[in-house]
Chain A
Amino acid sequence: MPANCLTPKMALKQIKNVNGTCVVIAGDDIDTDRIIPARYMKCVTFDGLGEYLFHDVRFNENGLPKAHPLNDEIYKGATILIGGRNFGCGSSREHAPQAVFRYGFRAIIAESFAEIFFGNATTLGIPCVTATRSDLNSIRERVPGHPKQEMKIDLALQTATFGDEVFQVSLPASARDALLNGRWDAIGELLEAGDLVAQKAAALLYF
């Protein structure tokens, strides 16, 4: 069986910092149906998903924009999304972090993340860092008054700096290592173990 091999275009960039303006998505337990309603998953590519990000809370049934921070011109160009607790719960759809990324976000700060969403986002190179609830509340209070103020996330130091304020953020060591060293998409490393996998798979007593 010919082994799969890596193509050169798989080289990944090291993600050490994300700097950008913020937008606050209020609420806890923001589920992936909210992030991208299921009807927009009727597609065979991820292209264009960005425009449907949070669609049903951004637009009414006639397609007209509702009051929502993503419809507010002042937050246009924001690249850091501020969420709450258990962000991205529910469905495993990668369409959700794909929509987040294609809309233009490059990092998420939240109190906690649902596990599958976290893994999917990391694989796309979107750092998902956590902050304490009280720090998040401070960030939420500050952003509307300073919509053009850049947040500077440093993944090595695990800090998020907003103006003169430095917040401690964190992400699991495995994700931090993967992002800092350009290994956030595991496919290259997984492919290297083809022979080991073949041996182990041959020994499996099913299928």
Chain B
Amino acid sequence: MGKTLFQKVWDAHAIRDLQNGQTQLLIGTHLIHEVTSPQAFAMIRELNLKVPYPHRTFATVDHIVPTDQRTEPFADPLADAMIKELRKNCDDFGIRYFDIPSGKQGIVHVVGPEQGITQPGTTIACGDSHTSTHGAFGAIAFGIGTSQVRDVLATQTMAIGRLKVRRIDVKGHLKPGTYAKDVILHIIRKLGVNGGNGYAYEYGGDVFDRFSMEERMTVCNMSIEGGARAGYVNPDETTYAYLKGRPYSPTGSDWDAAIDRWSSFASDPDALYDDIVSFSAGDIEPTVTWGINPGQAIFISETLPEPDDADPDERDSLLEAYEHMKLEPGRPINGTPIQVAFLGSCTNGRLSDFQEVARFIQGRHVAAGVKAIAVPGSQIVGAQCKHLGIDRVFSDAGFEWRDAGCSMCLAMNPDKLLGDQLCASSSNRNFKGRQGSPTGRTILMSPLMVAAAAIAGQVTDARKLFNT
């Protein structure tokens, strides 16, 4: 019987069994940012430990950076203290840091891939749940807590129990106007926000075979929203073409050897899975969330669910969601007025996201009364957009074009909702208060649906507005 990529990568990095039955797993690549690392460094100092493999850790700053006024010191003294702390920690321990002046700063899950740090057959950990993003390259990538950041810094390993593997096939063809974001929102809706607990998700099928690396990243990114700590796609020619020539990618004869090695990690045709689920791409329509977790989602054409029709165990959650979202059961989500549109994040803040939207918004304008911001996921994405004139397309359409960061995905920076504003957002979480205001409301959707909502001033079917 063959093995899955997960098994092969796990076996190649397992150091030993621990006394409690977990595995001590070697983490080949460690990514850190300013929010979840300072306490880990403090623990390292307190315990008098060293960082024996500093070249295996890469740092950037993303959560707290302002996306407009970036002159230091930052206006927020707490944010300023955090960026200074990261700088000091990287200096003290000899860790490579993609800082703002480098021109390579950005959201850690955008920076890793674009630098070629994220590679197939590797283990990756980062103190951030969206580390699952890196699985798009056939890496096994885990979001970890700060104590584990400490463990990885001090030992280059962590204690973890082996995950089961669920194969998720998406077969057929996506309809025009339907995107990777719709695929993952649909998967989460169907399998539940905790359906992936204990699993790594292996995404495959011809839809994933055709997907670009950026589309694969969008899906893997939100694996954790379905409860799966890791999600991945087997590496293929698309993966290698993306990685070729990137700063940290192998070169010369190492490149050829790397492709052989990377290919060998792909799941065998006769691999044994713990579970297999299949979706038909043609069934998927543009999907939007309506509630307070990413599984509370419907197609744009559907009406809002009736709590009385729901599973009795779900009913209270639905009622809580309706109370927060100020929406009514039975009505369409289409036509719901929005006040803010956010295009960016580690889910949908890459070049292709802005390119796709730019194709449609030329000659259009954001509706009066809507604040729309476009935030590249990295300085490099921002520079590419500028080079291609995409930033102008957005500015001309009435979007504020910003500098790179997490921005309004989680509002640890000045980009926040006010009061109960409703935001059409290309990000990954619609939890209560997620975007910075306790009463703020979030509707997750694809980038093109965000643009459509910004222009129409309401949640709307981008396929109709833009004649896709």
Contact = CB atoms under 8 A, between A and B. Distances in A.
A178 B22 CA distance: 10
Contact of A86 (B38, B56, B63, B193): B193
A56 B151 contact: no
Interface stretch (A71-79, A141-149, A162-170, A194-202): A194-202
A1 B48 CA distance: 15
A135 interface: no
A174 B21 contact: yes
B229 A45 contact: no
Contacts of A45: 38-39, 42
A183 B159 CA distance: 11
A185 interface: yes
A27 B47 CA distance: 39
Interface in A128-177: 133, 172-175, 177
Contacts, number: 223
B236 interface: no
A186 B36 contact: no
B157 interface: yes
Interface residues of B, number: 83
B227 A114 contact: yes
A86 B194 contact: yes
Nearest to B22: A174
A190 B431 contact: no
B155 A191 contact: yes
B157 A115 contact: no
A1 B148 contact: no
Contacts of B128: 91-92
B313 A190 contact: no
Nearest to B38: A44
Contacts of A39: 411-412, 436
Interface in B185-205: 193-194, 197-198
B21 A114 contact: no
A124 B154 CA distance: 18
Nearest to A96: B145
Most buried by B among A3, A56, A86: A86
B18 interface: yes
A38 B85 CA distance: 18
Contacts of A186: 18, 22, 151, 158-159
A205 interface: yes
Interface string A83-127: 001100111111101000000000000001011100110011000
A123 B22 CA distance: 13
A150 B48 CA distance: 40
A26 to B, nearest CB: 8
A116 B411 contact: no
B305 interface: no
Interface in B128-175: 128-129, 131, 143-148, 150-151, 154-161
Interface string A28-45: 110101100111011111
Nearest to A6: B47
Given A92-B128, A92-B129, A31 B20 contact: no
Nearest to A9: B47
B317 A193 contact: no
A133 B194 contact: no
A172 B28 CA distance: 27
Contacts of A201: 26, 28, 53, 56, 156
Contacts of B276: none
A174 B433 contact: no
Given A39-B411, A186-B159, A46 B431 contact: no
Contact of A38 (B26, B194, B317, B412): B412
Interface residues on A, range: 35 or more
B19 interface: yes
A116 B261 CA distance: 30
B348 to A, nearest CB: 18
Nearest to B121: A206
A90 B431 contact: yes
Interface in B7-32: 13, 15-16, 18-22, 24, 26, 28-29
A189 B19 contact: yes
A4 B50 contact: yes
Contacts of A116: 129, 143-145, 224, 229
Interface stretch (B73-81, B328-336, B376-384, B397-405): B73-81
A204 interface: yes
Contacts of B24: 189-190, 193, 197
A177 B29 CA distance: 29
Interface string B233-273: 00000000000000010100000011001000000000000
Given A114-B227, A116-B229, A175-B20, A124 B155 contact: no
Given A7-B48, A92-B131, A206-B28, 19 more contacts: A2-B50, A3-B52, A31-B429, A33-B432, A37-B438, A38-B410, A44-B85, A56-B433, A89-B227, A91-B129, A92-B143, A114-B227, A173-B21, A177-B19, A187-B47, A189-B19, A190-B159, A197-B15, A201-B56
Interface of A: 1-4, 7, 9-10, 26-29, 31, 33-34, 37-39, 41-46, 56-57, 61, 85-86, 89-95, 97, 112, 114-116, 119-120, 123-124, 133, 172-175, 177-178, 181, 183, 185-187, 189-191, 193-194, 196-198, 200-201, 204-207
27 contacts: A29-B194, A29-B317, A31-B293, A33-B432, A33-B433, A56-B438, A89-B194, A89-B293, A90-B431, A92-B144, A93-B145, A94-B39, A94-B146, A120-B145, A123-B147, A173-B21, A174-B161, A181-B20, A187-B147, A189-B19, A189-B24, A193-B24, A196-B15, A200-B13, A201-B28, A205-B258, A207-B29
The 6 A-B pairs with the shortest beta carbon distances in the complex, nearest first, are A120-B145, A94-B145, A186-B159, A56-B438, A44-B38, A42-B78
